[in-house]
Amino acid sequence: MASNQPREGRYMEESILDNQPIDLVLASTSPRRKQLFEQEKLRFRVLSAHVDETLDADLRARPFDAVQKLAEKKAHAVVNAILADENYRGFLVVVGADTMVARGGEVFGKPTSASDATRMLRALSGTSHYVHTGVSVWYCFAGEHESDFSLAYRSFTDTTRVTFRQLSSLDIETYLATGEPFDKAGAYGIQGSAAQFVQQLDGLRSTVVGFPMERFLHEFADVVQRVKLS
């Protein structure tokens, strides 16, 4: 597995952060990620931009790296959109995220149909799988003059191992009837009815929900504190 150390972009002068109000943007329309941010009482806005999420075979075979790459693409696209559309001035922090479910070399995305969701849940039944969530945080400062501009980012991937109990056909059928599986990677949401499927959880529950909030709060404590105080 690839290193779990954060990846860093271009260095940003620490002094740039001083005394600047932070404009925090969540680059995702996921209601689950939005709820996690709201639970922490963070002042933020939501904005997403379309990105091509197609992965080449090599990257798709490495979901740990793939989610980080996609999180970076999503956050970067929003940074570019804000700078282009808003003639932006100020200190912008954009957070992107992406989640994948993987087991035995297979990646389970969002199901395309009821039969696809059934296939995924049967494959996960009675086994362990990994949920990888990549996070990319982009810092952008744009001053009054064009030369007064800085850009940097930090990215990481967090992984949780999830073990499902053996699922019966009735379990799967009943769960499909709730409608929960159809907008979720792996065809299940741990924060919903599928919580009853989980036999063991090794890692952060929030990573499975779609955003490793505890790790984000720790690694970006400076940003979090200033957003809460502002």
Residue in the structure block whose two tokens are 């709730």: 178
User: Per the structure block, which two tokens stand in for 177?
Assistant: 């009837």
**Known catalytic residues?**
98
CA-to-CA dists, residue 140 to 78, 93, 206, 230, angstroms: 11, 6, 27, 18
Helix 169-177 / helix 114-124 crossing angle, nearest 10 deg? 140
Name the CA dihedral angle for 78, 79, 81, 86, rounded to a multiple of 10 degrees: 130
| CB of 101 closer than 8 Å to CB of 107 | yes
Burial class (CB in 10 A: 0-12, 13-18, 19+), 57: exposed
Query: 179's torsion region: left (phi>0), alpha (psi -120 to 50) or beta?
Result: left
Most distant CA atoms of the chain, gap in Å: 63
Measuring CA to CA, which residue among 156, 150, 219 is closest to residue 12?
150
Neighbours of 210 (CB within 10 A): 25
